[in-house]
Every structure is written in C-alpha cells, then in structure tokens.
Amino acid sequence: MRRVVSLIMLLPVIALALTLALALVYSALTPPSTLMLGRWLTLQPVARSAVGFEAVSPFLVQAVIASEDQRYCLHNGVDWDALREVVDDEEGPSRGASTITMQTVKNVFLWPGRSFLRKALEIPLAVAADAVWGKRRTMEIYLNVAEWGEGVFGAEAASRHWFGKSARDLTRGEAALLAATLPNPIARSAGKPSRGVKALAGRIQSRMGGVSGLMGCMR
C-alpha cells in the first residue's frame, strides 16, 4: 500500500517533468495540438503546414494580439489583473482571462472545454512556457496550432484555405478576419464572414495600430 501511495504521489512530479521535457523539445520542433492528435487518432483530415514566425504577415500577429491578448508583451504568460477579475465570476473561467500563452499551452498540452481544473493547470504551464519559449517562440507555436476551421490548423493552412495565399501575404483586413474567427472557428468563417464577424474584424483593425509598437518583444 505504501508503494502504491508513493507512486500516486509521484505521478504529478512525473507529469510535470515530462511536460517540461516536451516544452524543451518544442523550443525547436513545432508541436501538434491535442485537437490535431485527436483528429489523427480518429482518422479525420488535418490541414497544417508549419511555418516560421518570419513567414507570417506582421498584420496577423498584430490582429491576434489586438483580439486575444493586448498585454501579451507585458506579462509573464499570465495576465494576473485580468485573472483576478474573473475569479469570482459565477459562470466560471472565461476566455477573457486567457492569454495567448495560456491558450498555447492549452492547445499543446491540455484539453478543450471550460473547467477550473484546466485553468489551474494552464497557469503554471503558461509561466513555464513564457520562461522557456519566450514571446516570439510562443507566438510562433500559437500561430501554428490555432484552429481556423474544421480540421484547419495554423496560419499557413488557414490563409491558403480561406484566401488562397500564403500567410506572409495576408492583408490587414484578411488578418483581422482570421483573428475575428478565433473564439469560435467552427461556427465563424473568415472567407465568408457574417455581418457580426465583419463588425468584429473592423474593431480589431482599429486596435491593431495600438499594438504594433509592442511587437518589439518578439524580435
């Protein structure tokens, strides 16, 4: 019984060690997301072409920051001020407190859905990822694992799927449309945007200029 208890107590330590080892590997190799792994295991198609940070239009980086995490360059992976605002939210953890770093570790290491357990795991993983990967590599991984449609993962595949061009050639408007679909990429279309998606993309464009000066953290 003691051995069993000891093993159970060691499991979190083993899981943490494995996760940190994977994080070091992913410093050089672009990982799949857990959603991609799930689709592969169930023999569903996956479209993704991993590309480097420099192969993505700066407009898309600006649009993603303007839409998802305007303090991206200012926090250590977790936006503690935003997180405190939702701690007492009766509806539970929200995307509003989820930084790009937290979304990245969720996509790579955890599972989809809303729960306090997953959010609790995201926090230490995000701090570790920010320390190990840095801002540029974290953004690069995020842009390669984010889902932009049914079975469409990463900026390059999304750009080719919706606009028939490389991610490096995205215009300001196209980048804003892609960012506008991120909260619900299955229901929202960047190629055939609804009036609501167009309106959100317009608001994102209006904020893009304000975050362009913050991109120095990814040089």
**CB of 118 closer than 8 Å to CB of 98:** no
Q: With respect to residue 198, please indicate whether it lies within any of the assigned structural domains.
A: yes
Identify the residue whose tokens are 């959100």. Answer: 200
Q: How confident is the model at residue 18 (pLDDT cuts 50, 70, 90)?
A: confident
Q: With respect to residue 173, please indicate whether it lies within any of the assigned structural domains.
A: yes
Q: With respect to residue 7, please indicate whether it lies within any of the assigned structural domains.
A: no
**CB of 22 closer than 8 Å to CB of 14:** no
Could you tell me the CATH number of the domain that includes residue 165? 1.10.3810.10
Classified as helix, coil or strand, 27 is coil
Q: With respect to residue 105, please indicate whether it lies within any of the assigned structural domains.
A: yes
The reported pLDDT for the residue numbered 65 is: 96
Per-residue pLDDT tens for 36-45? 999 999 999 9
Q: With respect to residue 84, please indicate whether it lies within any of the assigned structural domains.
A: yes
Per-residue pLDDT tens for 153-179? 999 999 999 999 999 999 999 999 999
DSSP secondary structure code for residue 113 in this structure: S
What number of helices (H) and strands (E) belong to the chain? 9, 0
Q: How confident is the model at residue 136 (pLDDT cuts 50, 70, 90)?
A: very high
Whether residue 127 has pLDDT greater than 90: yes
Q: With respect to residue 4, please indicate whether it lies within any of the assigned structural domains.
A: no
Number of domains the chain is built from: 1
Whether residue 201 has pLDDT greater than 60: yes
Q: How confident is the model at residue 10 (pLDDT cuts 50, 70, 90)?
A: low
Three-point CA angle 95, 152, 165, nearest 5°: 110
Q: With respect to residue 52, please indicate whether it lies within any of the assigned structural domains.
A: yes
Q: How confident is the model at residue 4 (pLDDT cuts 50, 70, 90)?
A: low
Classified as helix, coil or strand, 35 is helix
* Domain residue limits at 112: 30-218
Q: With respect to residue 194, please indicate whether it lies within any of the assigned structural domains.
A: yes
Whether residue 133 has pLDDT greater than 80: yes
Per-residue pLDDT tens for 64-118? 999 999 999 999 999 988 777 766 554 444 455 789 999 999 999 998 877 788 8
pTM for the model: 0.88
